[in-house]
Amino acid sequence: MAGNGDHSAQPAAVEVRTRSQGLPWGPLLGALLLVVTIGSIAWFHPSQTRSIGRSFDLIDSKSGRLVSDRDFRGKWLLVFFGYTRCPDVCPTTLSEIADTLAKLGPLAGLVQPLFITLDPKRDTQPVLADYTAAFDPRILALTGSPDQIAAAARGYGVYFATREAGDDYSIDHSAAMYLMRPDGAYERSFLSTAGSAEITKRLQGLLQSR
């Protein structure tokens, strides 16, 4: 059974990027994709929030050991999916998480932020460990095989897709943070636009009433 918290936020906000490549219908296609995305999110919420956060098995980028969601029982989890080469939403979100930890003070010890990479090919364990440490060493990065990551993403209802760009690529992905209760149940989601002040306020209310 899902947590009884405030579910006013969408469980996922999808970042959609479209390259028109000089074609006049490019912007229209982008708008259509956005409408479809918003529609799918509205359909998903709230009837399927019970299934958000199913079990995962991933690799701790710091220790290299295999961990599962069960290893974090007793902690409030703040889960975010992204990748280190993300140009905008990922660094912004991780900065907000770091600010939240600072604002929580001693209460931050009850929260474990998890950054799950969607790009295991380039996001090696050392790369991930260095990346998250630059924001706050308390943010734990997780990786795994493509299948393990895809399973974890499905468990949280996370959308992601690789977008080729010549010899390089980017990853379009959902941009929400998922708050999980200490018993593993889903509590609520924060949109990527949520600032640290909003997240801190919500967390303080939950942590102080435990």
CATH number at residue 147: 3.40.30.10
Do 159 and 197 fall within a single domain? yes
**Residue 3 within any structural domain of the chain:** no
Rounded-to-integer distance, Cα 15 and Cα 90, Å? 11
**Residue 160 within any structural domain of the chain:** yes
Do 35 and 70 fall within a single domain? no
Report how many domains make up the chain: 2
Do 75 and 38 fall within a single domain? no
Do 137 and 102 fall within a single domain? yes
Alpha helix ranges (H) inside the chain:
26-44, 89-104, 125-133, 146-155, 196-208
Do 143 and 199 fall within a single domain? yes
**Residue 49 within any structural domain of the chain:** no
Domain that holds residue 37: 9-44
Contact at 8 Å (CB) between 55 and 69? Answer: yes
Do 35 and 83 fall within a single domain? no
Q: What are phi and psi of 62, to 5 degrees?
A: -85, -45
Rounded-to-integer distance, Cα 45 and Cα 23, Å? 34
Do 37 and 70 fall within a single domain? no
Per-residue pLDDT at 145: 97
**Residue 16 within any structural domain of the chain:** yes
What Å distances lie between residue 103 and 64, 93, 96, 115, CA to CA? 30, 15, 10, 19
Per-residue pLDDT at 25: 45
Do 119 and 175 fall within a single domain? yes
Do 15 and 112 fall within a single domain? no
Per-residue pLDDT at 165: 85
Name residues of the chain where pLDDT drops below 50.
1-47
Do 170 and 80 fall within a single domain? yes
**Residue 4 within any structural domain of the chain:** no
**Residue 50 within any structural domain of the chain:** no
Per-residue pLDDT at 50: 55
Rounded-to-integer distance, Cα 107 and Cα 201, Å? 12
Per-residue pLDDT at 46: 41
Do 36 and 107 fall within a single domain? no
Q: Which residues contact 25 (CB under 8 A, 6 or more apart)?
A: none
Do 83 and 137 fall within a single domain? yes
